[in-house]
Amino acid sequence: MLPGLVSPLRPVAPGIRRPDYAATGEPSDRAARAVRTADEIEAMRVAGRVAADALVTVGAAVRPGITTDELDEIGHEAMVAAGAYPSTLNYRGYPKSLCSSVNEVICHGIPDSRRLVEGDIVNLDVTAYIEGVHGDTSATFLVGEVDDRSAELVATTRAAMRAGIDVVRPGARIFEIGRAIEAVALPRGFSIVREFIGHGIGDQFHTSLQIPHYYDPRNDTVLLPGMTFTIEPMVNVGARTLEMWDDGWTVVTRDLQRSAQFEHTVLVTTDGVEILTLPTDGVPAEERFARPELVVEPTGQDPGS
Ligand code: MF3
Ligand code: CO
Ligand code: CO
């Protein structure tokens, strides 16, 4: 991948509520509570739905020949039409309304003039701010036919995210999430990125709550009802070592082998977990656009073994 041209900032209508960093680029460093109020949770269902609907809309537009800037425009318009501010816009100076991470780009790829080509994989990461809270979700899409290892990478990463979500319940410890993700990804020969992790989310985009996607027994924080955070594993075909482009955002694998990612925002309920980033019709992007023959079971076991 090479950097392309980045288009000018897209406007957001003045009637749309903006997060604290929208003008300055710097989020305030207020301490965030780990447990959300009932009103915040209700609002996060709205923000999650708006982000997920926008992700479905941009995912449907993925095809050979479209530029990632055009995908950004589609995502931007979907969010503002729903009354939301695209959370990434000017977040710490980030210039676009979503992240588009193609092939060896691990995360935070900036939409630009590059056209997708058949065989690419692209993660689109959409975050919406509405009613004072954020919803954050992403999926990796296949552009036409892709090689078998890329398809396996994407299916495995999706299953790994699912396995991480499935261990979330009150009383569970945070390290169980990474352990479940590893159990899916590592036996298939993939590596897991450590430098970028899931995060608490609510009235702030990123709170201090840390959700590693690898097994870290020191992170034994107990999950409580009302906690909201993301699970967003980045899984690589080759080594987990990464590098950053000079743009200060685009994170790539050092060996230039491919990387995939899926993300949901989740809520710890009184008896389990609720995915907050589901679209209006309840069918998430990763389910709509999956190739059925490529689904990997989220158990860590090979279906055939
Ligand atoms: N949506 C990303 C996440 O999952 C964060 C993007 S921040 C940006 O946490 F500044 F790069 F847009
Ligand atoms: Co996130
Ligand atoms: Co995200």
Phi then psi for 107, rounded to 5 degrees? Answer: -165, 165
Best residue among 107, 123, 196, 230 to mutate for probing ligand 1's pocket (most ligand atoms within 8 Å of CB) is 107
Mean pLDDT in residue range 57-64: 98
The pLDDT of residue 215 is above 70: yes
Q: Measured in angstroms, how far is the CA atom of residue 86 from the centroid of ligand 3?
A: 11
Q: Measured in angstroms, how far is the CA atom of residue 278 from the centroid of ligand 3?
A: 14
Reading the block at residue 124, the tokens are 């689109």
Burial letters for 214-225: b for 16+ Cβ neighbours within 10 Å, e otherwise? bbbeebeeebeb
pLDDT in tens, 157-181: 999 999 999 999 999 999 999 999 9
> Which pLDDT value is given to residue 303?
43
Mean confidence (pLDDT) of the chain: 96
> Which pLDDT value is given to residue 305?
36
Instruction: Determine whether the shortest distance from the Cβ of 236 to ligand 1 is under 6 A.
Output: no
The pLDDT of residue 300 is above 60: no
Mean pLDDT in residue range 124-140: 98
Residue keyed to tokens 């609720």: 274
pLDDT in tens, 218-253: 999 999 999 999 999 999 999 999 999 999 999 999
Q: Measured in angstroms, how far is the CA atom of residue 10 from the centroid of ligand 3?
A: 19
Angle at 71 between CA 252 and CA 233, to 5 degrees: 40
Strands (E) across the chain are located at 85-86, 99-102, 105-107, 121-130, 133-142, 191-192, 198-199, 210-211, 228-231, 234-236, 242-244, 251-253, 259-261, 264-268, 273-275
> Which pLDDT value is given to residue 291?
78
The pLDDT of residue 302 is above 90: no
The pLDDT of residue 293 is above 90: no
**How far from chain centre, in Å, is Cα 275?**
13
The pLDDT of residue 281 is above 80: yes
The pLDDT of residue 254 is above 50: yes
* 3-state DSSP assignment of residue 198: strand
The pLDDT of residue 56 is above 60: yes
The pLDDT of residue 294 is above 70: no
Instruction: Determine whether the shortest distance from the Cβ of 25 to ligand 1 is under 6 A.
Output: no
Mean pLDDT in residue range 128-133: 98
Mean pLDDT in residue range 33-45: 97
Instruction: Determine whether the shortest distance from the Cβ of 232 to ligand 1 is under 6 A.
Output: yes
Instruction: Determine whether the shortest distance from the Cβ of 87 to ligand 1 is under 6 A.
Output: no
Instruction: Determine whether the shortest distance from the Cβ of 205 to ligand 1 is under 6 A.
Output: no
Pick from 233, 240, 235, 238: nearest CA to 257: 238
